[in-house]
Structure 1
Amino acid sequence: MTNAADPTTARPTRVLLVDDTALFRRAIATLVDAQPDLEVVGQADNGLEGVEQARRLQPDLVVMDMEMPVMTGIEAAKVILEQLPGIKVIMLTVCDDDERLLGAIRMGVHGYLLKDLHPEELFAMLRSAARDETPVSPQLVGRLLAELRGGGARHTSPATAQAAEPQLSQREMDTLKLVARGMSNREIGRALSITEGTVKNHVHNALHKLGLDTRIQAAAYMVRSGYAEPPRTD
């Protein structure tokens, strides 16, 4: 099976950039296009155009600014997630407001990155998303999970969680505990002495059983339910 994040494969991960700051967007496009395993297939300067290009180009990833004219990034992400479920949406923004972060994660975006990332960090995060992981800027992870532990957002009702919880296998629980610690599939595989593919299967099955969409939602569930502690924020 082709791994979209593997630089040795023939097909690079296809990226659509949506940002109303042309200079920033073009600079990111130049940097991303220089990576052998990443390819910018389109650019848009507002959310509506981003939705239209996502429909036409069918990229693997959409990297979306939050504040834009015509249609905001959040509005555009909602449309893409509902109508084009095969496309992953990553918010790339200067905003680190907890409520917006919670809202984006609750909606099901596949990552939330701040614009002060170094280029190498951005590339790593895009590759992480291509591997079906959920990249979040490191300085936000602890805040997010700590807030969710306190009940700041709920992705499933208590009744749904209680009904789904017994269905999780011990291996799925072990995997989600490590997901909540911010570990990648590779790191989890090493810790549990299983393959990355097996980790991915455990995460996929657990998400399905819990009625969740992304790894960060699963991490929030584990923290909120008392099975894991959020990463330290200091």
Structure 2
Amino acid sequence: MIRVLIADDQPLVRRGLALILAPEPEVEVVGEAGDGAEAVALARELRPDVVVMDIRMPVLDGVGATAALSEALPDCRVLALSTFDMDEYVVAALRAGACGFLPKDTSPEELLAAVRTVHTGEAAVAPRLLTRLISTYVRTPRPAATPPPAGPAAQDLTPREQEIWRLIAGGLDNAGIAAALGLSVSTVKNHITGLFTKLTVRDRAQAVIAAYESGLVTPTPPTP
């Protein structure tokens, strides 16, 4: 059973999300919150597995609420929703600890699939947002005069962990990484667990952002 808390400042939206999620046999909607502060308080009380979190809310917005939940309830997964799919909202939510980000015009089937995905600890980002996110970090060249930073987290990684990090940033899943390196999938999973711990990231989306911001992966200049 996946216990879900819904946080949105519009009652009609909350009701609609509940009507989509509640009929699913493996989903239980345990509560609804009208702002970020209430979402954090209810999550502490109800201990949901997943919080479906609107980004723009009063009192405390979704990014601030996500950051608070990541610190207070690290096992609680946040799936962020927004009417606005601007890049800065996506990045801010993922940096704060969200495991997924969907626009509000997503289909009910996509919402349900994303809830299931983030519940397993994997990232769920809408394809159109992921394309733009990767484009922002991969295709925007870093100024030539500015050397890429070498953060302490990257320096602590073993050569194998650094290679796996590069492959994650390149979009490979566990099976693809295993095939590329001649390892078993279980061995790759073990390396990734250690990698995420050292980087203090929760999922692949955060790891991709960290890879480009740390300078481990060199951005590819845009095609003329």
TM-score, L = length of structure 2: 0.79
Which residue of structure 2 lines up, in the alignment, with residue 29 of structure 1? 18
Q: Contact 1:180–1:228 (CA<8 Å) still a contact in 2?
A: no
1:10-49 paired onto structure 2 within 5 Å: 12-49=1-38
Q: Give the alignment's Cα RMSD to 1 decimal.
A: 3.0
Instruction: Name the CA shift for 1:199/1:119 in 2 (closer, same or farther; >3 Å).
Output: farther
1:105 aligns with 2:97: no
SS at match of 2:60: coil
Q: In 1, Cα distance between the equivalents of 2:3 and 2:159? A: 34
State the 1:124 CA deviation: 1.1
Distance (whole Å) between structure 2 residues aligned to residue 82 and residue 133 of structure 1:
18
Structure-2 change in CA distance of 1:85 and 1:145 (3 Å)? same
TM-superposed CA distance for 1:36, in Å, is 2.0
Larger Rg computed on CA atoms:
2
Extract unaligned runs of 5+ from structure 1: 1-11
The CA distance in 1 between the partners of 2:39 and 2:45, in whole Å, is: 10
Q: 1:114 to 1:16 in 2, by over 3 A?
A: same
Distance 1:81 1:151 in 2: 31
Instruction: Give the equivalent residue in structure 2 for 1:119.
Output: 108
Q: Deviations over 1:154-193 (max 9, x none)?
A: xx9523254134x142xx5565455435565577678878
In 2 relative to 1, CA 89–159 (structure 1 residues): closer, same or farther, beyond 3 Å? same
Query: What is the match of residue 145 of structure 2?
Result: none
* In 2: Cα distance, 1:52 partner to 1:75 partner: 13
Q: Give 5+ residue unaligned stretches, structure 2.
A: 143-147
Verify the 8 A CA contact 1:168 1:206 in the aligned structure 2.
Answer: no
Counterpart CA distance in 2 for 1:109 and 1:59 is 14
Distance 1:168 1:85 in 2: 28
1:68 CA displacement? 1.4
Contact 2:64 2:96 in 1 (8 A): no
1:5 maps to what in 2? Answer: none
1:215 alignment counterpart? 204
Q: How big is the shift at 1:142? A: 2.1
Q: Which residue of 2 aligns with 1:85?
A: 74
Determine the C-alpha separation between the residues in 1 that align with 2:27 and 2:176. 23
- 1:129 aligns to what? 118
Question: CA offset at residue 221 of structure 1?
Answer: 3.6
User: Residue 158 of structure 1: SS of its match in structure 2?
Assistant: coil
In the other structure, the counterpart of 1:164 is 156
Number of residue pairs the alignment of both structures matches:
213
* d(CA) in 2 for partners of 1:38, 1:60: 10
Following TM superposition, where does structure 1 have runs of at least 4 consecutive aligned residues deviating by more than 6 angstroms? 186-193
When structure 1 is superposed on structure 2, of 58-67 and 185-194 the one drifting more is: 185-194
Q: For the residues of structure 1 that align with 2:68 and 2:207, how far apart are their CA atoms?
A: 22
* TM-score, scaled to structure 1: 0.76
1:57 paired with 2:46, answer: yes
Aligned-partner Cα distance in 1 for 2:113–2:150:
35
Do the aligned partners of 2:153 and 2:198 also contact (CA within 8 Å) in 1?
A: no
- Evaluate the alpha carbon distance shift between residue 101 and residue 163 of structure 1 in structure 2; reply closer, same or farther with a 3 A threshold: same
In 2, Cα distance between the equivalents of 1:190 and 1:92?
34
